Structure 1
Amino acid sequence: MEQIGFDFGVEAPRKLTKVSPARLATFEDCPRRYRMSYLDRPSPVRTGAWAHSTLGAVVHNALRALFDLPVVKRVPQRAMALVAEHWKDAGFEDADQAARYRARAKAWVAEYVEHNDVSVDPVGLERWVSAPVTLEPGSGPSLIIEGRADRIDQRGRELVIIDYKTGRREPDEYEARSSQALALYAVAAARTLRTPCYQVELHHVPTGTIAAAEHTEQSLKRHLQRADETAGDLRLATDTLDAGGDEDVLFPARPGRRCSWCDFRPSCAAGQEAGPAAQPWELLAP
Structure 2
Amino acid sequence: MGQLGFDFGVQPKRLTKVTPARLSTFDDCPRRYRLTYLDRPTPQRTGAWAHSTLGAVVHNALRALFDLPADRRTPERAAALVTEQWNDAGFLDAAQAHQYRERARQWVAEYVEHNDVSGDPVGLERWVSAPVSAGDGPPSLIVEGRADRIDERDGELVIIDYKTGRKAPDEYEARGSQALALYAVAAARTLRRPCHRVELHHVPTGTVAAAEHTPESLRRQLTRADETAAELQTATDTLEAGGDADTLFPARTSRRCSWCDFRPSCPAGQQAAPAARSWDLLAP
Does TM-score exceed 0.5, indicating one fold? yes
Aligned residue number for residue 5 of structure 2: none
**1:94-109 pair list within 5 angstroms:** 94-109=93-108
Question: Partners in 1 of 2:273 and 2:228 — Cα distance?
Answer: 28
Question: Partners in 2 of 1:126 and 1:34 — Cα distance?
Answer: 23
Higher relative contact order, structure no. (Cα contacts within 8 Å, ≥ 6 residues apart): 1
From 222, 242, 245, the equivalent of 1:244 is 242
* Contact 2:79–2:109 (8 Å) recurs in 1: yes
User: Displacement, 1:14?
Assistant: 1.0
* Contact 1:76–1:111 (8 Å) recurs in 2: yes
Question: Partners in 2 of 1:118 and 1:103 — Cα distance?
Answer: 22
Give the secondary structure class of the aligned counterpart of 1:100: helix
Give the secondary structure class of the aligned counterpart of 1:270: helix
Correspondence 1:59 to 2:55: no
**1:12-23 pair list within 5 angstroms:** 13-23=12-22
Aligned residue number for residue 170 of structure 2: 172
**1:130-149 pair list within 5 angstroms:** 130-137=129-136, 139-149=137-147
Structure with bigger gyration radius: 2
User: Displacement, 1:13?
Assistant: 3.1
Unaligned runs of 5+ in 2: 1-10
CA RMSD, 1 decimal: 1.1
Correspondence 1:150 to 2:148: yes
Question: Partners in 2 of 1:141 and 1:241 — Cα distance?
Answer: 25
Question: Partners in 1 of 2:86 and 2:252 — Cα distance?
Answer: 34
Give the secondary structure class of the aligned counterpart of 2:161: strand
Aligned amino acid, residue 211 of structure 1: A
Count of residues in correspondence between the two structures? 275
From 190, 193, 196, the equivalent of 1:195 is 193
Residue by residue over 1:257-276, the C-alpha shift from the partner in whole angstroms, topping out at 9 and shown as x without a partner, is: 00000000000000000111
Unaligned runs of 5+ in 1: 1-11
Correspondence 1:125 to 2:124: yes
Question: Partners in 2 of 1:134 and 1:82 — Cα distance?
Answer: 41
Q: Provide the TM-score with structure 1 as the length reference.
A: 0.95
Identical-residue share of aligned pairs (%):
77
* Contact 2:128–2:187 (8 Å) recurs in 1: yes
Question: Partners in 1 of 2:114 and 2:32 — Cα distance?
Answer: 39
Residue by residue over 1:164-209, the C-alpha shift from the partner in whole angstroms, topping out at 9 and shown as x without a partner, is: 0000001000000000000000000000000000000000000000
Question: Partners in 2 of 1:255 and 1:121 — Cα distance?
Answer: 43
Give the secondary structure class of the aligned counterpart of 1:168: coil
Give the secondary structure class of the aligned counterpart of 1:41: coil
